[in-house]
Chain A
């Protein structure tokens, strides 16, 4: 039974939520902030009663998609997850998700807490939520004005995980040395996932590699295979640290234009058919492996998990498609170099010559420092681009990035106004054709708002 403080916080949060919903607004943060102001331990108090416990999903890229996959999997198993599915992933977003499903007597209606957690908030969140399972997808450089340096962030997360009770299971990406090392610092159950397909990745390290040094002894790492940035088949010739054995491994990944197929290693279970992942891109295959590994950590059935994945639908800006004026807009949220490179990899591996609508903004949620675009591999993208319409609060920086990547002037134009940019990009594509929309978070929100007004889609908080 929640204490008096939690009851008051719950009531105040719920009233805030109803007020916001009544005026037609999303309630993905503010109600949570109200409840947390009254009771700082609100999320701990409410989630403690959940029968199946709590799972946290964190990391730089893929946490929204992985958490949504896991939500589908848990639902297929008959669980009732409480999930911050809009991607509002600070403490207040977790609190808001709980408020949306709590009774007036502060009892959650649901039996499993599934929370996507911002990686900088993970240390404080795991202390409050005492999760059964913590998933870390990967750690890349991201929004340095907010997260600062990756080494420091990895150390903080490692310290927080080291303080968790022994029955918490970690689900970690074995192919990311920074993430894999999080487990090697504690004695606890860990489920590692990774890609063992020798045809995935190359041998040349990429410019944005953040962790080319061993996380333990700081000597240069050796790579038999580089998948993306510092993710791959790594080992340290100096201290002997190596990629840990994968509990959930893909022995073969086949990428296609609308999804991929994964063959799981025999050790994973009795699976003879490939796992179908119905959204494209190698990084989504990794997200699916993370979700399957998390399902294993939660003792959920593998066959059901695979069935749930096969009917998965993507979230806001994660390769969802929207029909608009006879064209298909494919929305791709980009926010950091690794995510950008993964997204363009998914675009180019199917041989597209994309028509782009690209939008760069610099609000807090985008990252105020737009320097990251210079780390992203626009040089790989530019030769294939049919045409690019550029917009956003920092569209001029983005246009400059395309120019320096070699995109010809006649293939590039800047249209500052959101609606005009959509109109222009749509008009340039042939009837029945596709426009790939690459946008940072608030730019994507702005573009979606324009599309919603034109009757093309739903606001994301109702999703």
Chain B
């Protein structure tokens, strides 16, 4: 069994340590004896958009985000949409999350169109949300660090990933954090997000693997270190934010 991970725009969308998400997916697959290949997909026409089982899309600086937005407005955007329709999963954080939504509405000037893979819209906010973020969900808690000025609002097609316990999450108003739609996840969890939240990492792995291996199951791993890190970070989020 092997797993194919695509890292979207690793040269442009790679701030806040989001690379750790690719490391987490890779290692958690390898520890289970699953072979892994990671390929970068960046600016310029992609030739193998049907290859990945799971895409990772991180946050970027404004300059990077402009270039990426322009690139996704062309053929690569359609290819990504088609890949999701074909059963691939996406995990996106911050800028990547915003670009998967319908649009980003700046304070002044025309709005920047997104891919519309997630039924969410983001509007520019004045105050930047910077701090630890603790989230509860029916599947388990999530913890990370948020750093964004965009306010993201969910449409009816997307479900929140969880409910904010400490921090701001999507928009600082409705207590939601992140979005899930089919096998596409967006969120504001830097940290990196996946290493400390192993249930979410394994959910993505399961979605990725089922694309080509129908009856595959994931063996459980010893997650005591992961849960200890989550507990320490959660305590900081509860007491020091």
**Which residues of chain A have a CB within 8 Å of any CB of chain B?**
141, 144-145, 148-152, 205, 207-210, 212-213, 218, 220, 337, 362, 368-375, 393-397, 399-401, 403-406, 414
Contacts and interface: CB of A to CB of B under 8 A. Distances in A.
A394 B15 contact: no
23 contacts: A144-B16, A144-B147, A149-B61, A152-B61, A207-B10, A207-B19, A210-B15, A213-B64, A368-B130, A368-B145, A369-B16, A370-B191, A371-B20, A374-B18, A375-B14, A394-B233, A394-B236, A396-B232, A399-B228, A399-B229, A404-B24, A405-B23, A406-B27
Contact of B15 (A141, A395, A401): A141
B231 interface: yes
A218 B23 contact: no
A212 B226 CA distance: 33
Contact of A394 (B17, B64, B232): B232
Given A205-B11, A374-B19, A400-B226, 5 more contacts: A152-B61, A210-B61, A212-B11, A368-B132, A403-B225
Interface string B177-200: 000000000000011100110000
B63 interface: yes
Contacts of B232: 393-397
A396 B23 contact: no
B73 interface: no
Interface string B111-130: 00000000000000000101
A370 to B, nearest CB: 7
A216 to B, nearest CB: 12
Given A375-B19, A396-B232, A404 B131 contact: no
A150 B229 CA distance: 28
A369 to B, nearest CB: 4
Interface of B: 10-12, 14-20, 23-24, 27, 61-64, 67, 128, 130-132, 145, 147, 190-192, 195-196, 225-226, 228-229, 231-233, 236
A220 B16 CA distance: 21
A404 B62 contact: no
Given A393-B236, A404-B195, A149 B15 contact: yes
Contact of B233 (A150, A207, A397, A399): A397
Contact of B190 (A205, A369, A401, A404): A369
A191 B65 CA distance: 34
Contacts of B16: 144, 369, 371-372
B231 A396 contact: yes
A212 B225 CA distance: 35
Contacts of A150: 61
A336 to B, nearest CB: 11
B57 to A, nearest CB: 16
A335 B23 CA distance: 21
B147 A145 contact: yes
B229 A396 contact: yes
Contacts of B20: 371, 373-375, 401, 404
Contacts of A399: 225, 228-229
Contacts of A144: 15-16, 147
A374 B145 contact: no
A401 B128 CA distance: 27
Given A144-B15, A397-B232, A370 B145 contact: yes
A209 B61 CA distance: 12
Nearest to A209: B11
Contacts of A145: 130-131, 145, 147
Q: Which of A373, A396, A414 has the most chain B CB atoms closer than 10 A to its own CB?
A: A396
Contacts of A148: 128, 147
Given A207-B14, A369-B145, A370-B145, A218 B63 contact: yes
